[in-house]
């Protein structure tokens, strides 16, 4: 029996995009994974992003959500770190 996975698209901005060098990632994750867990996986891959952990906001399908929001197949995830400038 295969392990079921869902696919999500992660849009990257600011420090996240700088760390990965691309504007988006497509990931397969286990069903029942929260948006906060996806962020933890991203930080594990790029430890320099840990400084943004507590102040990053989350968006799923163009709506702000809490870190415990469970992702669904096809969701578009956005991590929004604070930005400055004019």
85, two tokens: 């400038």
Q: What is the pLDDT at residue 81?
A: 84
Q: State residue 7 phi and psi, 5-degree precision.
A: -110, 130
In percent, the amount of the chain with pLDDT more than 90 equals: 86
Q: List the strands of the sheet with 6-11, edge to edge.
A: 24-29, 6-11, 76-80, 57-60, 63-65
At 66 the three-state DSSP class reads: coil
20, two tokens: 């990965």
Cα 77 to Cα 24: distance, rounded to the nearest angstrom: 10
CATH class of the domain defined by 6-80: alpha beta
Q: What is the pLDDT at residue 86?
A: 52
pLDDT (average), residues 55-81: 96
79, two tokens: 């991590």
């Amino acid at each position: 029996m295969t392990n079921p996975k869902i696919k999500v698209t992660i849009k990257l901005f600011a420090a996240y995009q700088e760390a990965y060098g691309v504007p988006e990632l497509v990931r397969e994750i286990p069903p029942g994974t929260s948006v906060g867990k996806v962020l933890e996986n991203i930080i594990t891959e790029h430890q320099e992003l840990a400084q943004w952990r507590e102040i990053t906001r989350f968006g799923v399908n163009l709506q702000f959500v809490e870190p415990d929001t469970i992702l669904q197949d096809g969701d578009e995830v956005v991590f929004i770190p604070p930005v400055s400038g004019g």
